[in-house]
């Protein structure tokens, strides 16, 4: 059983890295942002409550976030473990999490703020299947069209300059301080988020003492 949390500023490639890790080690990728986006897209009660916060790049209130995380983890469909992406993001969420769950490691992706802004501005999301693209590093084969499902690529509604600034400010002021707390607990591994996704992933696996080659993961 492997239980990881992945953290890093917006645009650092958390989602991409979490998916790569989950795919090769049979882990369930749990993205709090994706869960909320699903609710917004499907016009659920939760979706109507979180929509404004998300559009403005603000954090959703802690209680709603903890409920969503708890419900998701309670499904226990993660036989081999999970990678939790986008939680915790502040001290209250970290307290709730550390009190209720045991984790093996927190993976922190480091990325300078100007690189994070550049990546967010070049980020595109498939309106059909939700796959992430980046016009710098992960371009679709046909412009604006998803390689996977043929859906149209769109800009995330919270990737506007104002929302990007708000999200990075929250990261600096609310999320970064909890990295210190986790560092004291010695469960954190830090990786440089600047290189290609494959190189970031390889560094992460080395630091987690996991096999770097996907095939080797099964043996």
Report DSSP state, residue 13: -
CA distance 204 to 27: 15
Instruction: Indicate which residue of 2, 123, 124, 205 is catalytic.
Output: 123
Using rule CB under 6 A, residue 134 touches ligand AMP = no
Cα distances (Å, whole numbers) of residue 80 to 14, 27, 205: 20, 6, 16
Using rule CB under 6 A, residue 203 touches ligand AMP = no
Nearer to ligand AMP, 51 or 194 (CB): 51
Question: Peptide bond preceding 148: is omega within 30 degrees of 0, i.e. cis?
Answer: no
Which residues does residue 7 pair with via DSSP β-bridges, in sequence order? 108
Nearer to ligand AMP, 79 or 172 (CB): 172
Given 3, 28, 33, 122, the residue binding ligand AMP (CB under 6 A): 33
70 carries an active-site annotation:
no
Instruction: Indicate which residue of 19, 72, 119, 156 is catalytic.
Output: 156
Given 40, 46, 51, 53, the residue binding ligand AMP (CB under 6 A): 53
CA distance 29 to 17: 10
156 carries an active-site annotation:
yes
Using rule CB under 6 A, residue 25 touches ligand AMP = no
CA distance 30 to 112: 25
Q: 148-177: which residues touch ligand AMP (CB under 6 A)? A: 158, 167
Contact by Cβ (8 Å): 33, 139: no
Instruction: Give me the residues that bind ligand AMP (CB under 6 A), please.
Output: 10, 32-33, 36, 53-54, 57-60, 65, 86-87, 89, 93, 158, 167
């Amino acid at each position: 059983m492997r239980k990881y949390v992945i953290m890093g500023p917006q645009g650092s490639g958390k989602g991409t890295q979490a998916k790569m890790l989950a795919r090769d080690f049979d882990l369930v990728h749990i993205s709090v942002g994706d869960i909320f986006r699903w609710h917004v897209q499907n016009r659920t009660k939760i979706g109507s409550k979180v929509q404004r916060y998300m559009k403005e790049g603000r954090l959703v209130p802690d209680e709603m976030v903890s409920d969503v995380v708890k419900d998701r983890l309670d499904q226990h469909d993660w036989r081999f473990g999970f990678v939790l992406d986008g939680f915790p993001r502040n001290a209250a969420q970290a307290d709730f999490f550390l009190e209720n769950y045991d984790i093996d490691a927190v993976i922190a992706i480091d990325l300078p703020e100007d690189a994070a802004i550049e990546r967010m501005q070049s980020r595109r999301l498939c309106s059909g299947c939700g796959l992430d693209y980046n016009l710098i590093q992960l371009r679709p084969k046909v412009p604006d069209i998803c390689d996977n499902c043929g859906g149209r690529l769109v800009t995330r509604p919270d990737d506007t300059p104002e929302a990007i600034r708000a999200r990075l400010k929250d990261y600096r002021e609310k999320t970064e301080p909890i990295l210190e707390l986790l560092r004291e607990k010695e469960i954190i591994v830090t990786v440089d988020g600047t290189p290609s996704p494959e190189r970031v992933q390889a560094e992460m696996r080395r630091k987690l003492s996991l096999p770097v080659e996907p095939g080797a993961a099964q043996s």
